[in-house]
Structure 1
Amino acid sequence: MEQLVRKMTNSLHKSFIDQTNPVSGNFKPKLLSNKSHENVLSTLLQEMKTCESFIFSVAFITEGGLATLKTMLYDLQLKGIKGRILTSTFLNFNQPKMFKELLKLENVDVRLTGVKGFHSKGYIFDHEDYYSLIVGSSNLTDSALKANYEWNVYLTSLEDGEIIHHFKKQFEEAWNEAIPLSEEWINNYNLNYEQQPFVKQAASNVFQVNTEYLTNSLADSLAIQPNKMQTSAIEQLKTLRATGAKKGLIISATGTGKTYLSAFDVRNFAPKKMLFVVHREQILKKALQDYRKILGGHEDDFGILSGNSKDIHAKYLFATVQTISTNRHLQQFAKNEFDYILIDEVHRAGADSYLNIINYFEPEFLLGMTATPERTDSYNIFELFDYNIAYEIRLQAALEEEMLCPFHYFGVTDYEKDGEIIDNASTLQHLVSNERVHHILEKINYYGYSGKNLRGLMFCSSKDEAYELSNVLNAQGMKTIALTGDNSQSEREDAINKLERYELEYILTVDIFNEGIDIPFLNQIVMLRQTQSSIIFIQQLGRGLRKHDTKDYVTIIDFIGNYKNNYLIPIALSGDQSMNKDNVRRRTVNTDYIQGVSTINFEEIAKKRIFDAINNTNLSTLKILKDSYMEVKNRLGRIPTMHDFIEQNSLDPEVIVGYSENYYEFLLKMKEELPTITDYEKGVLTMLSKEFLNGKRIHEVLLIDALIQNDIISKNEYVDNLKEFGTYMDNATIESVENILTLNFHITNDHKKYGSKPIIELHDGRYQFNDEIQTSLLDPFYKAFFEDIIACAHIKNAQYDPTRQLTLYKKYSRRDACRLLNWTKDDSSTIYGYRVKHGTCPIFVTYHKKDEVDSSVNYGDEFLSTDIFRWFTRSKLTLESNEVKAILAAEQTGLDIHLFTKKDDGEGFDFYYMGTTSIIENSPKEEEMFDKNGKQIPVVTMNMILEQPVQYDIYHYLVEE
């Protein structure tokens, strides 16, 4: 408690006296405005995760705001953590349906205050020995928690602090006078609420005139204007055609308005005759309607070529690929009949039917449109369009531009009984058992939907599951239908119409609605199958991303079983195709990459299943790497560089050189025909790739880069380069760089692998490559590999703090630590858990040891809080042991103690860097532990305080089982 009081005192000193005063991050006051990495929502979730109870006092709550907390509230319920929410009916903002959602929260008591003008916005969390408080402008709405510009103060207080007593007293007074939320109260509120037809509460916390009320009177007077994406794409299409290009490709996320975009471009192009090709008649009719809105003109200008419609003379002809691709229909047209042709869903264009059309006609311009140009059959769509990507906008960017309907994704735990989890081998009987169906219904009811009534789409793992599950759900009083590839187009359209009219609640399907279907009113998507492909995952998620005036967001409920492909979920949601395991873990832990008010939420057990899949999966198999390689090669129309992979948001070059010694060897494995280089030249490429590509230290990179450009550089010039770059610099670091590049640092095996001779020589204060490398660099082919590595290293280094040897929360191996801490030799093989050397002591801790670890090395290292770590020395040491004395004297001797941790051995050889630490006074003590024979042996423990508290998402990732 004494230490806690000291931290709190420091916090107050920093807040009100001196902002430079150091203070623990747990207690540091903050302004939360949603304009930085730490938005209101992330802080709220952090406090909920660690609290023992909580109270919210908020005037306004939306379903979307509540949705952002539902996963956390569910996890808290499993832990027995309860809370209270006090809200109101002020201005009738809160909708009746939202109150029904509040009733679903079994571990939360809710009351309605009668306080006049109730407008409070405060969140209080009771921790074990202190309170935290968020108070300011944010109501419990998704916009206020994540997107709006808000001002909220985050404070901490001890239990006896006056501020927390004041807030709690105010809350308790209002709570005691408030009315408990009940079904009866909601029914009465609903009656009064429905008597206000002209006002609709929007998720943005502002009142708006009901658009539905005014639509009929205003629609005719409002011209459709291109959105930001469409305006940009139209300009880029103009620019592309100005270069003489005859073909162009638009890559645009589902729901961003590709059809309207193409219509705007057709209007600009003003063709004498146009052809629009689609693969399904339903899409064709909708496209024709959209074009008429944009182009205007006489009704006879628009025609259809499909089925019984043969309007071949129409100025704007809309045709299904199945009809027009036949020779009988093609021959009706001259090759130059259409001066503008559009192909929708052009990723299908590798099929013969599409190629028949493309190869026959000779338009002035051919436009292809798709959300997913990547294909699994290696057909190169990009080549078909002369590699002319006119415009590209993917999911993340589209969300940021508010072009799509926001979504709340919930990765939930699939049914488990007696240790048996839904997996690839689960039988139909297991998939549709009463227990699993009950589990599914619980989840979809808990996570809910936006809008008046449910209109959902369920993706099942097989036809049998879809049919049987639909029967089971219908027997329980629901309204569902199963549709598969066996159903006709008319049956599908009829089901969609019934869903729109609320005559159905769900359509259950397998894969037929992955793409090419427009159902904008969907407000819930349920995924009951494993993720086989990130492309298909986004296609299915995209079914609900079209905006519609009946919903504020779409709910995505993904049942995560024991599937080996679970790792694809964070890859698909983030769009990160690097295949870097650490990136995938981070995307699972920290989902702040999702833009706008959308959120990604994983229940804790579901999250663990994803981590297990990441650990147990090889993300760098030949097939995975070759597929990614071919995607980039197809896109560019040439052999890509490693830098290209970064530019195209594809493979991480570190993954590439982890699979092969260098990129030259990788290209050979990709079956590329390359000029031959010598073994020594390969060895040098291997050294540059293994040592410097990761960008963890810029110093060697700057020297190599300078020598590529200038042949020779003086030591003084090199020092000036370092200063200009703004990185740290001292004699020890310069010597370390020289040790690395002369191979003095490296062990014998590395000498052999890297060519057994210094790659850089130092003569009379001047650096230069050795003679053999200088000769090799005269060959542009070989030089390009050097330059590629350096380009990648520069990009990678941007992730690191140039003013520090090690960057907080980046990952390093023992070998990295030796190099970056300026050790003269690679002593990584002898570090084990820690080692004192060269004025430094790196400590490496695997947080969760394997069960079979020998008891004599199964230390109880643990975080006591986000900024205090309890550490064990090696066994058989006492307070009088020399290495213990050296560590305890760190403050006096200037020894820098660096802490590195990883969750478990599944993370490989790299550890998160937690920063420097100092030993807390009076904490070191001798304890006893047992060796493998049950004999007690001594060990020294001590508590260390970190330079700053661990970032909360990484902290929870590390400590949770």
Structure 2
Amino acid sequence: MELRPYQSEAKAAIFEEWDKGVKRTLLVLPTGCGKTIVFAKVTEDCVRRGNRVLILAHRGELLDQAADKIGKATGLGCATEKAEETCLGSWFRVVVGSVQSLMRDKRLKQFPVDYFDTIIIDEAHHCLSDSYQKILDYFKGANILGVTATPDRGDMRNLGECFDSLAYEYTLPKAIKAGFLSPIKALTIPLQLDLSGVGIQSGDFKSGDLATALDPYLYQIADEMEKHCKDRKTVVFLPLVKTSQKFRDILNEKGFKAAEVNGDSKDRAEVLAAYERGDYNVLCNSMLLTEGWDCPSVDCIVVLRPTKVRSLYSQMVGRGTRLFPGKDHLLLLDFLWHTERHELCHPASLICQDEEVAKKMTENIEKAGCPIDIEEAEKQAAEDVVAQREEALAKQLKEMRNRKKKLVDPLQFEMSIQAEDLSGYVPAFGWEMAPPSDSQKRELEKRGILPDQIDNAGKASLILDRLHKRQEENLSTPKQIRCLEKYGFQHVGTWNFDSAKNMIDRIAAAGWRGAPSGVNPQEYIPE
């Protein structure tokens, strides 16, 4: 099986981390981008090196899928470590193992601590739990790969407690632009649902409270779905089984062909098969289908289980992002959840690295009143935020005019070189969150950047790397940026060094009285 270019890059990056001594690393791929194929090929290369590999997951379906995909992609057979089955005594070099089984002391201690050379964790956002940590601590000499579809660095702050690096990340926008995933259009439904009385448990909204809060709105939600989803193949996520079943009945009253599945459904496989065939056009579930189930023809997702956990939100939406003949986009219905908490996930959470841009994008989609492509919405929101930042920057620069006049504020530098990755940076791992070191501060000041406004080592490192690359590429320096933008020139950070030097020489020749004759700084673009 031939890997896509980004999958090959991911595999190479993982081994690069391990080979340089980083034992615990992460791979982030959006749902539908073939994470199982990547770790199957990683497994194959590990076996070639003579390693024994353990694939860890928290659900039987994920273990079965992993074993099946490894077999199809590599021809390797897998032993199983769960319930009554054990891999001990097997000659297979690959083991798929249940966390619930392996975490038990009696079972775990049957293995030598160096039994596994490599451990791969599917759906790695679960691995912060004590059960996973117990297994990883026992096999502490193993190289570890965590695989997750977490959409942004917000969740990675937590994963940074368990992993030492991010080997490779392929983003949802990249996957959509490359044609590997379906475009997403978001529509905010103008229906205000009050969640102000919903409690929090284990970092997210309580399912029971959510169901109670949601119940009075189910008929109105069905009316809205009738307007937008009648001709679509829809999956609805709800907080409780009884709410899911009630909503199925309401939808059927409205003329939909709705079905419901839950963990206790004896006919679950038959219902899912019937839905895939088209016998039903809506499938209701209480968080059962977030992982381990794929139906590429799904073209509408309705999230009636509001969450502040981005990985969970991403998993729900990911049920509809796969490509399918005749499907030109996924429709994602969003609701006006009234809550005092601002961390609630919205379509912006899938694509925005920057919280400010996400907030603006959510506001813009709410105002639109029609389905909006999330990439276009993110671009517009980013432009809006840049305009707001430039206004704030002008005010800030005015206040700082008399302070350290020879140094460039980091925000001015980021805006001038149009570096959204710098302005939207969020530290993920422990070392990144620490304050900048003295040597970083000295180097930043030496290169013309005011270090006082940089509050973490990760950001300092990124800016220094960017300065080094800009020097190699003969681009304008921070001091040239400060000098020319003082005279009103725009985005000098995109100029090359020689163009900036030439303009500064012309200004100097004119006695530093302003821009050279015939040059409008607001419109000037160097050749």
Using structure 1 for the length normalisation, give the TM-score: 0.37
For each residue in 1:348-392, what CA deviation from the matched residue of structure 2 results, as whole angstroms up to 9, or x when unmatched?
A: 2111111111111145532221121869899742353322x2211
Give the structure 1 partner of residue 427 of structure 2: 632
For 1:544 and 1:559, how far apart are their aligned partners in 2?
14
The correspondence for 2:128, drawn from 350, 360, 370, is 350
Q: Does 1:290 align with 2:69?
A: yes
Indicate the SS of the match to 2:112. coil
- Displacement after TM superposition at 1:531 (Å): 6.4
Indicate the SS of the match to 1:545. coil
For 1:641 and 1:805, how far apart are their aligned partners in 2?
35
For 1:386 and 1:225, how far apart are their aligned partners in 2?
29
The correspondence for 2:195, drawn from 380, 400, 424, is 424
Give the letter for the 2:33 counterpart: T
Indicate the SS of the match to 1:384. coil
Contact 2:352 2:358 in 1 (8 A): no
Once the two structures are overlaid, the 10-residue window that deviates more, 351-360 or 537-546, is 537-546
Give the structure 1 partner of residue 137 of structure 2: 359
- Displacement after TM superposition at 1:572 (Å): 2.1
Contact 1:345 1:516 in 2 (8 A): no
Indicate the SS of the match to 1:291. helix
Contact 1:383 1:637 in 2 (8 A): no
Give the structure 1 partner of residue 282 of structure 2: 506
Q: Does 1:409 align with 2:195?
A: no
Q: Does 1:526 align with 2:312?
A: no
For each residue in 1:837-876, what CA deviation from the matched residue of structure 2 results, as whole angstroms up to 9, or x when unmatched?
A: xxxxxxxxxxxxxxxxxxxxxxxxxxxxxxxxxxxxxxxx
Seen in structure 2, the aligned counterparts of structure 1 residues 600 and 590 have a Cα distance that, compared at 3 Å, is farther
For each residue in 1:434-472, what CA deviation from the matched residue of structure 2 results, as whole angstroms up to 9, or x when unmatched?
A: x54233212112xx44xxxx3x21124666543321121
Seen in structure 2, the aligned counterparts of structure 1 residues 523 and 303 have a Cα distance that, compared at 3 Å, is farther
Give the letter for the 1:698 counterpart: I
Larger Rg: 1
Give the structure 2 partner of residue 305 of structure 1: 81
Alignment of 1:549-948 (within 5 A): 552-561=327-336, 563=338, 569=346, 571-579=348-356, 584=361, 632-634=427-429, 636-639=431-434, 663=453, 698-700=481-483, 722-724=500-502, 729=507, 734=512, 804-805=521-522
Indicate the SS of the match to 1:237. helix
For 1:581 and 1:547, how far apart are their aligned partners in 2?
26
Indicate the SS of the match to 1:507. strand
The correspondence for 1:337, drawn from 106, 110, 115, is 115
Seen in structure 2, the aligned counterparts of structure 1 residues 289 and 534 have a Cα distance that, compared at 3 Å, is closer
Seen in structure 2, the aligned counterparts of structure 1 residues 340 and 730 have a Cα distance that, compared at 3 Å, is same
Give the letter for the 2:62 counterpart: I
- Displacement after TM superposition at 1:254 (Å): 1.3
Seen in structure 2, the aligned counterparts of structure 1 residues 542 and 583 have a Cα distance that, compared at 3 Å, is same
Give the structure 1 partner of residue 19 of structure 2: 242
Contact 2:258 2:281 in 1 (8 A): yes
Indicate the SS of the match to 1:579. helix
Q: Does 1:317 align with 2:95?
A: yes
- Displacement after TM superposition at 1:558 (Å): 0.9
- Greater relative contact order (Cα 8 A, min sep 6): structure 1 or 2? 2
For 1:567 and 1:662, how far apart are their aligned partners in 2?
32
- Displacement after TM superposition at 1:295 (Å): 2.0
The correspondence for 2:39, drawn from 262, 271, 285, is 262
Seen in structure 2, the aligned counterparts of structure 1 residues 393 and 803 have a Cα distance that, compared at 3 Å, is farther
For each residue in 1:607-635, what CA deviation from the matched residue of structure 2 results, as whole angstroms up to 9, or x when unmatched?
A: 9xxx9xx9xxxxxxxxxxxxx99961526
For 2:162 and 2:358, how far apart are their aligned partners in 1?
34
- Displacement after TM superposition at 1:584 (Å): 3.9
Alignment of 1:77-96 (within 5 A): none
Contact 2:67 2:78 in 1 (8 A): yes
Alignment of 1:110-129 (within 5 A): none
Give the structure 2 partner of residue 281 of structure 1: 60
For 1:378 and 1:257, how far apart are their aligned partners in 2?
20
For 2:187 and 2:27, how far apart are their aligned partners in 1?
31
- Displacement after TM superposition at 1:393 (Å): 0.7
Seen in structure 2, the aligned counterparts of structure 1 residues 307 and 330 have a Cα distance that, compared at 3 Å, is same
Give the structure 2 partner of residue 228 of structure 1: 5
For 2:507 and 2:363, how far apart are their aligned partners in 1?
31
Indicate the SS of the match to 2:17. helix
Contact 2:156 2:428 in 1 (8 A): no
For each residue in 1:284-341, what CA deviation from the matched residue of structure 2 results, as whole angstroms up to 9, or x when unmatched?
A: 11111110112215xxx42222234334424321112111121122122211212222
Seen in structure 2, the aligned counterparts of structure 1 residues 286 and 725 have a Cα distance that, compared at 3 Å, is farther
Give the structure 1 partner of residue 199 of structure 2: none
- Displacement after TM superposition at 1:230 (Å): 1.4
Contact 1:251 1:372 in 2 (8 A): yes
Give the structure 1 partner of residue 237 of structure 2: 459
For 1:306 and 1:537, how far apart are their aligned partners in 2?
29
Structure 2: give runs of 5+ residues left out of the alignment.
197-211, 389-422, 438-449, 457-477, 487-496
Indicate the SS of the match to 2:195. coil
Seen in structure 2, the aligned counterparts of structure 1 residues 407 and 379 have a Cα distance that, compared at 3 Å, is closer
Seen in structure 2, the aligned counterparts of structure 1 residues 244 and 322 have a Cα distance that, compared at 3 Å, is same
Seen in structure 2, the aligned counterparts of structure 1 residues 581 and 227 have a Cα distance that, compared at 3 Å, is closer
CA RMSD after TM alignment? 4.7
Seen in structure 2, the aligned counterparts of structure 1 residues 599 and 372 have a Cα distance that, compared at 3 Å, is closer
- Displacement after TM superposition at 1:517 (Å): 4.0
For each residue in 1:652-694, what CA deviation from the matched residue of structure 2 results, as whole angstroms up to 9, or x when unmatched?
A: xxxxx9xxx9647x67xxxxxxxxxxxxxxxxxxxxxxxxxxx
Give the structure 2 partner of residue 443 of structure 1: 228
Once the two structures are overlaid, the 10-residue window that deviates more, 228-237 or 351-360, is 228-237
Seen in structure 2, the aligned counterparts of structure 1 residues 531 and 495 have a Cα distance that, compared at 3 Å, is same
For 1:721 and 1:601, how far apart are their aligned partners in 2?
33
Seen in structure 2, the aligned counterparts of structure 1 residues 371 and 573 have a Cα distance that, compared at 3 Å, is closer
Structure 1: give runs of 5+ residues left out of the alignment.
1-223, 416-420, 592-596, 615-627, 643-656, 668-694, 704-718, 738-801, 809-961
For 1:288 and 1:369, how far apart are their aligned partners in 2?
16
Contact 2:14 2:167 in 1 (8 A): yes
For 1:444 and 1:573, how far apart are their aligned partners in 2?
21
Give the structure 1 partner of residue 30 of structure 2: 253
Contact 2:155 2:311 in 1 (8 A): no
Give the letter for the 1:254 counterpart: T
For 2:359 and 2:483, how far apart are their aligned partners in 1?
24
For 1:598 and 1:558, how far apart are their aligned partners in 2?
12
For 1:346 and 1:255, how far apart are their aligned partners in 2?
16
Contact 2:152 2:350 in 1 (8 A): no
Instruction: Name the count of aligned residue pairs.
Output: 414
For 1:442 and 1:663, how far apart are their aligned partners in 2?
50
Indicate the SS of the match to 2:56. strand
For 2:348 and 2:297, how far apart are their aligned partners in 1?
27
For each residue in 1:548-580, what CA deviation from the matched residue of structure 2 results, as whole angstroms up to 9, or x when unmatched?
A: 5x5534522314336465996463243231425
Give the letter for the 1:639 counterpart: A
For 1:733 and 1:560, how far apart are their aligned partners in 2?
60
Indicate the SS of the match to 1:556. strand
For each residue in 1:704-743, what CA deviation from the matched residue of structure 2 results, as whole angstroms up to 9, or x when unmatched?
A: xxxxxxxxxxxxxxx9984347899589995689xxxxxx
Give the structure 1 partner of residue 459 of structure 2: none
**Which has the larger share of strand?**
1
For 1:531 and 1:225, how far apart are their aligned partners in 2?
37
For 1:311 and 1:403, how far apart are their aligned partners in 2?
36
For 1:633 and 1:551, how far apart are their aligned partners in 2?
39
Contact 1:413 1:561 in 2 (8 A): yes
